[in-house]
């Protein structure tokens, strides 16, 4: 159940989404959401944010998605990058980045995925080495969203532990115009406002203060950003599923072929009811994950965030599929705007971590079963 404050936030964001509707140009929506304080609801008040948490930010993304205008960069800029900087950044990093991320005047991308690493963050090959006080970054990243719009990218690299010689993850802020930092757009079949890029870091020289947090914190800092990413991906999927379901329900109420609207027939009504139930259940798990994360329970949030992302991805795909099926041929027309969601819905099954890897996580971490890898 939403608190009174959450219900008010949900209503206000839904109204903003309704005003914009389904649009391919999200620039004005991003600016409006920033002006109204929605982009930074999870960031600290002393740095221009709303003082809330991922619970509030997930509401913003879900309601925009339900209105047909989800902002994918909400997953990245305030949720991942903003959270990591708020938790681990220096005073100067917080002062420079957080107010601007909150009001939308600056945008930050997040670079973790690599061509050969897949879902295995331990195989990341982007390395950072010390050169005097500076850092030198070398490596490649793929499927990085919104780099063309971002002022900087939070890059996950690996540094060598002086004691063990083993590589450990570290996070670096790389400005978009840093020499040696180049991007190439990836030609996607997916229709989305945000483009995907391959990044190359060719001996990118960064000052000491580009490092976020402690170079010895490793996975703690990384997962401080990855758990919100999973929760927000769930919100993205639930919003999309709700949008598709609403379109199908409206159509099934009005479309009449014989004596009654098609929605009166159980073959149409029951699958839509099931889609609604699945979306509601996924939302409950997402809310649980967000509450655990906001309460500082990183371990509990990790399990719940993975489950929420899995449940939401499945619910979204089924809702979109059933919505298209309900509309029949109309479900594939540009007029009704559902066909493009067939591809988009699958993103929540694949990214930022595949459903199979989530099942692995639950098998090993929750059920205690042995690993096969």
Q: Which residues are catalytic?
A: 229
C-beta separation of 372 from 340 below 8 A: no
Residue in the block written with tokens 């899995």: 310
108-111/152-160 β-pairing = parallel
- Buried-exposed string 125-157: b where 16+ CB fall within 10 A, e elsewhere: ebbbeeeeeebbbbbbbbbbbbbebbbbbbbbb
Helices 54-66 + 266-294 axis angle, to 10:
160
Q: Is the peptide bond before 352 cis (omega within 30 degrees of 0)?
A: yes
Label residues 196-212 b or e (16+ Cβ within 10 Å = b). Answer: bbbbebeebebeeebbb
- Burial bucket for residue 259 (CB in 10 Å: 0-12, 13-18, 19+): exposed
Query: Maximum distance among all alpha carbons in the chain?
Result: 80
Buried b (16+ CB within 10 A) or exposed e, 78-92: bbbbbbbbbebbeee
Counting Cα atoms < 13 Å in the Cβ hemisphere of 48 gives 20
Query: Distance between CA 181 and CA 132 in Å, rounded?
Result: 20
């Amino acid at each position: 159940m939403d608190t009174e404050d959450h219900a008010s936030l949900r209503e206000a964001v839904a109204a903003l989404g309704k005003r914009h509707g389904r649009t391919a140009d999200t620039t004005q929506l991003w600016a409006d959401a920033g002006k109204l304080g929605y982009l930074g609801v999870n960031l600290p008040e002393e740095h221009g944010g709303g003082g809330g948490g991922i619970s509030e930010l997930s509401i913003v993304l879900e309601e925009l998605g339900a209105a047909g205008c989800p902002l994918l960069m909400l997953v990245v800029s305030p949720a991942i990058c903003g959270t990591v900087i708020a938790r681990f950044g220096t005073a100067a990093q917080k002062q420079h980045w957080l107010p601007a991320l909150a009001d939308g005047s600056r945008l930050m991308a997040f670079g973790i995925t690599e061509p050969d690493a897949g879902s295995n963050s331990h195989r990341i090959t982007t390395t950072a080495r010390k050169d005097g006080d500076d850092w030198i970054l070398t490596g490649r990243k793929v499927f990085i969203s919104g780099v063309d719009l971002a002022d900087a990218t939070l890059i996950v690299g690996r540094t060598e532990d002086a004691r063990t010689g083993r590589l450990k993850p570290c996070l670096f802020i790389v400005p978009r115009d840093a020499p040696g930092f180049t991007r190439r757009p990836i030609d996607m079949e997916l229709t989305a406002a945000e483009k995907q890029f391959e990044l190359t870091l060719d001996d990118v020289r960064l000052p000491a203060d580009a490092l976020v947090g402690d170079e010895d914190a490793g996975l703690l800092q990384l997962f401080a950003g990855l758990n919100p990413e999973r929760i927000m991906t769930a919100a993205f999927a639930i919003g999309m599923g709700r949008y598709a379901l609403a379109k199908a329900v409206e159509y099934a109420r009005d479309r009449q072929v014989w004596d009654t609207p098609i929605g009166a027939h159980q073959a149409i009504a029951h699958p839509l009811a099931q889609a609604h139930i699945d979306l509601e259940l996924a939302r409950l798990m997402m809310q649980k994950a967000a509450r655990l994360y906001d309460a500082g329970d990183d371990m509990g949030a990790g399990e719940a965030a993975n489950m929420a992302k899995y449940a939401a991805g499945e619910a979204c795909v089924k809702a979109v599929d059933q919505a298209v099926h309900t509309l029949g041929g109309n479900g594939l027309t540009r007029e009704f705007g559902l066909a493009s969601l067939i591809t988009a819905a699958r993103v929540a099954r694949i990214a930022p971590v595949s459903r199979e890897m989530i099942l692995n996580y639950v098998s090993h971490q929750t059920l205690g079963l042995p690993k096969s890898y």
